[in-house]
Structure 1
Amino acid sequence: MSSTEHPKVSCLMVTANRSKLARRAIECLARQTWPNLELVIVDDGEEDYAPMLEQFAGRVEIQHHRIEKKDDVFLGGLRNISLDKATGDFCMQWDDDEYYHPDRVEKQMKYLLDKKLDAVVLRFALMHLDVPEFVNNPYRIDGIDGIPGTILHRKSSVRYPNQRRSEDTRYMEGIAGQGKLGAMESGSHLFIRCFHGNNTWDRKHFFGKLKRTWGGMFHYWKAKYLQGDILNH
């Protein structure tokens, strides 16, 4: 398999003190069908990830960068370090607390290459809330213009703003401003956003995705107030 047919994709992870969640995300990466990948980890936590990462020796090409935590370097700044360390022709956000289908990278890469794009995001994804009423009831979310955390793009000079939140939205806007960004209409199963109680955003933010569009809002109110069961949404 040549690097021309399968360009290298750098999957970028920022993490700290949650190796169990990160292990799940790395396992998802190890199962990807796209053959030319690397994982770039930027870790400013105190927990030792080495024993966990040893389990992936020979399965995943990993750069693990442990750095000192700084009070003035937020999530966006840490993501920029991962971009600077990436050696691939393409970069992809790969958060430590999400689920990824084995075809995720391949489907997005083929879409980008077939349509001659500079970047691609998923418009739809699945949402899983680890709370009693929703633990067995994931739901689909509509990113409208695209879900920032699903971005895959050609290597670029664009960088994230040094923000705690919404840095990926600003980054997607920056990428779109420099090239052609597409949003895949199919493939919501490729990416599952997970609420586990220790996210950047709170439960209200995740739950609010049910009502982001006019159609979603209508079905939400219908299920909750007319049918009396939100799970009918």
Structure 2
Amino acid sequence: MKYTNDPLISIIIPVYNSERYLEKCVNSVLNQTYKNLEIILVDDGSTDLSPRMCDAFSVQDSRIKVIHQENQRQAAARNTGIEVASGEYIMFVDSDDYIADDMCEYLMDGALSYHADIAICGSMAVCLDGTINFSKKSDGVVEMTTYEALKSYVETGSGLCAQTPCDKLYKREAIGEIRFPVGKWYEDLATIYRFVANASKIVYLNEGKYYYVEHEMSTMKKAFSKHSFDTVEAYHNLDLFLRNKYPDLCYYVNCSKIGAIFYCVGEAYKQGLSKELNREINWAVNLVKDINTPLNLKQRLLSICLVINCETFGRLYKIFK
């Protein structure tokens, strides 16, 4: 669909040592059927050829802006892009992924047709062996209120509003002054629900337009470390956020939070890091004491064990993991 006055879309692409994937990513954006784009490449202190490639792209197309900054990780790079973006709408694309040629037009058509503040498309998983998988989540368009989108966000299995920024087109007001938490892992989980809460209407469009490229360094494949507790913090903050306005959604969040706590504390003991991570473990155990959501029998027993004796919990985790 063509529009008389196409709204400007700012597409923010954080770049860090992405020379292997960057050309395909940027070309997929340059080849969009929707032409009114501002493409912001934020080089986050790359040490490979990525900075030079970004500069070359900016010479190739005047719609591209390049920002070079010291390495501060992906959240800071996205925040930098938001600060300089001038579009009425904003999108995020990761530099190791790519998008369908009509993704921008598809999402903009959906946003304007359904008067939505956020438009969401399906995502395709590009596996390590090159195969592409797409799990269709709906037979058609799904219009959602803020509550319905947040419920989809916290429920497992629904996935219409996934915990990622990259399958969405945001009206600028939905992002507002919200920024990604710098220095944290799982920054998507910690942020996207706040964008959704700012939106009055969200629309899910059922075609897959975003291609998520799986590889060895993907965030979800990271080994356990101190930063794994960031997911517990993200779920805890989500719980606090929902308690006043949407308390019934806290059940789903607390189920995910307690699962994250079991994993983090269990892995800390399994890998012999319990002394090094003692502060994080004690903090997580105190969160378990504060959970008042109904738990199943297994969760209750593990919670009691964790609160009474962390070492015993750690031994049980090694057995049942």
The residue type paired with residue 144 of structure 1 is: G
Specify the alignment match of 1:67 in structure 2: 69
CA contact (8 A) 1:100 1:192 kept: yes
Specify the alignment match of 1:52 in structure 2: 53
CA contact (8 A) 2:42 2:68 kept: yes
User: Does structure 1 residue 22 correspond to structure 2 residue 22?
Assistant: yes
Q: Provide the rounded CA distance (Å) in 1 between the counterparts of 2:128 and 2:75.
A: 26
Partner of residue 217 from structure 2, selected from 195, 198, 215: 198
Larger relative contact order (CA 8 Å, sep ≥ 6): 1
Q: TM-score, normalised by structure 1?
A: 0.74
Q: 1:105, CA displacement in angstroms?
A: 0.5
Structure 2 unaligned segments of length 5 or more: list them: 138-157, 224-321
CA contact (8 A) 1:75 1:165 kept: no
The alignment yields a C-alpha RMSD, in angstroms, of: 2.6
User: Does structure 1 residue 136 correspond to structure 2 residue 147?
Assistant: no
Q: Provide the rounded CA distance (Å) in 2 between the counterparts of 1:52 and 1:15.
A: 10
Query: Larger radius of gyration, structure 1 or 2?
Result: 2
The residue type paired with residue 219 of structure 2 is: T
Q: 1:55, CA displacement in angstroms?
A: 4.8
Q: Provide the rounded CA distance (Å) in 2 between the counterparts of 1:102 and 1:60.
A: 19
Task: Map residues 216-231 of structure 1 onto 2, 5 A cutoff.
Answer: none
Q: TM-score, normalised by structure 2?
A: 0.55
User: Does structure 1 residue 80 correspond to structure 2 residue 75?
Assistant: no
The residue type paired with residue 215 of structure 2 is: H
Q: Secondary structure at the match of 2:107?
A: helix
Specify the alignment match of 1:7 in structure 2: 7
User: Cα–Cα, structure 1 residues 151 and 139, in superposed 2: closer, same or farther, change >3 Å?
Assistant: closer
CA contact (8 A) 1:117 1:181 kept: yes
User: Cα–Cα, structure 1 residues 92 and 181, in superposed 2: closer, same or farther, change >3 Å?
Assistant: farther
User: Cα–Cα, structure 1 residues 157 and 182, in superposed 2: closer, same or farther, change >3 Å?
Assistant: same
Partner of residue 127 from structure 1, selected from 113, 125, 128: 125
Structure 1 unaligned segments of length 5 or more: list them: 205-233
User: Cα–Cα, structure 1 residues 55 and 15, in superposed 2: closer, same or farther, change >3 Å?
Assistant: closer
Specify the alignment match of 2:161 in structure 1: 146
User: Taking every aligned residue pair, what percent have the same amino acid on both sides?
Assistant: 18
Listed one character per residue, the Cα deviations across residues 190-232 of structure 1 (whole Å, up to 9, x for unaligned) are: 111111222222199xxxxxxxxxxxxxxxxxxxxxxxxxxxx
Q: Secondary structure at the match of 1:186?
A: strand
Q: Secondary structure at the match of 1:106?
A: helix
Give the aligned length: 195
Flag as ranges the 4+ runs of structure 1 deviating above 4 A. Answer: none
The residue type paired with residue 24 of structure 2 is: R
Q: 1:59, CA displacement in angstroms?
A: 3.6
Q: Provide the rounded CA distance (Å) in 1 between the counterparts of 2:203 and 2:189.
A: 14
